[in-house]
Chains A and B, each alone.
Chain A
Amino acid sequence: MLLPALFLILGLILGLLTNFTIPEIYANYLSIAVLAALDTLFGGIRSQLEGKFDQSVFISGFFFNVSLAALLAFIGVQLGIDLYLAAIFAFGVRLFHNLAIIRRIMLEKFRLRKRNK
């Protein structure tokens, strides 16, 4: 679990150091994509804790979710419907759901370890 965290921080530093910015109009798509990515990431952590982790599902899910979210936002802008709200809602709900499950599993593990001591 250490390596991914390290890479996450590395990515953050890299992004901040390069001072790379994108045009304001694309910022919305990127924010949706970030949300999707976070959702997939937490989904991956959860499935790993549950022991159901599948690498190909995780990787394909990441790229698919990110591009679908951006596409949805794009179509929403073209049609004049705030479709990105749907993406935010779906990913947001799932994010919290995953976090809740992760928390429960962690708690369970913590208790087990305490009992075993």
Chain B
Amino acid sequence: MIISNKGKIWISIICLIVGFMIAILFETKQSTELRDTRDLWEIRTALQKEQEIQQNIYNEIAASEVLLQEYENQPERQQLESLKESIENLKEQAGLTVIEGEGVVITLQPIFQEYDEYQIYPELTADLLQFLINQLNDYGATEIAVGQERLINITPIRNVNGRVYVNNSPIGDLPVKVHVITDDPTRLINHIEVSESIDYFALENIELKTKQVSALVLPKYDQTINLEGLEITESLEEGDI
């Protein structure tokens, strides 16, 4: 059957519409890229952050190169020694050595109020302790130990059966001592005095007492560091972009 010219034109128009629809669909499915909605300030901050990271990386590279140079220029025996030295350095960074320094001792102790009724013994929670540790790190703490447990980068602080565990061992009931080594103890104390931690702990009937100590000794982390479960994440987290 032969189609008339008019028919052919109609079919062609419909083909045109179909083609157009497919193209639009294709475009729509393709163009789902996220728009950058940051303002100037946010971009500047992001840029600064990246530059800081870059600077840090450069510094690290420079330090490593100096170290490498040293290795190469030294005779074998000295090489061994400098290797040992670096291992000691790394151990110190990882928190595997006893460390001494100027710092602050924070004592968490229960507050007893003159209640008529019966008052339960105040209990420390892992959340509170985490909050305090985060704030201390924020205020310039370099090394921290809770009781006799040294905090390292992967130290867990959690509630187990109603007790607070640090480094997988219970820290016991209040009072608890938190030892902090810092470059500027006075500043740290001042920060703590005005921090939210005081209020949050007070809500749980716990008092924070700070004391500056000139020679503070922190115990070493005495367990093995297990990094088997760790892997590098490829995905971006919130705020990374």
Contacts and interface: CB of A to CB of B under 8 A. Distances in A.
Interface of A: 3-16, 19-22, 24, 27, 30-31, 33-34, 37-38, 40-41, 44, 48, 51-53, 55, 58-59, 62
Contacts of B14: 4, 37, 40-41, 44, 58-59, 62
Contacts of A22: 24, 28
Contacts of A12: 19-20, 22-23
The residue in A12, A30, A58 that gathers the most chain B C-beta atoms within 10 A of its C-beta is: A12
Interface stretch (B2-10, B138-146, B159-167): B2-10
A14 B19 contact: yes
B35 to A, nearest CB: 13
A7 B27 contact: no
Contacts of A41: 14-15, 18
Contacts, number: 106
Chain B contact-residue range equals: 20 to 34
A21 B15 contact: no
A7 B12 contact: yes
The 4 closest A-B pairs by CB, nearest first: A15-B23, A11-B19, A7-B12, A11-B16
B31 interface: yes
Q: Is the interface of A mostly helix, strand, loop or mixed?
A: helix
Contacts of A3: 8-9, 11-12
10 contacts: A7-B12, A7-B15, A12-B22, A14-B23, A15-B20, A22-B24, A31-B25, A34-B21, A38-B18, A41-B18
A59 B4 CA distance: 14
Contact of B27 (A20, A34, A37, A38): A20
B66 interface: no
B24 A20 contact: yes
Pick the most buried of B9, B17, B31: most chain A CB atoms within 10 A of its CB. Answer: B17
B1 A48 contact: yes
Contacts of A62: 14
A68 to B, nearest CB: 15
Given A7-B15, A41-B14, A53-B3, A30 B27 contact: no
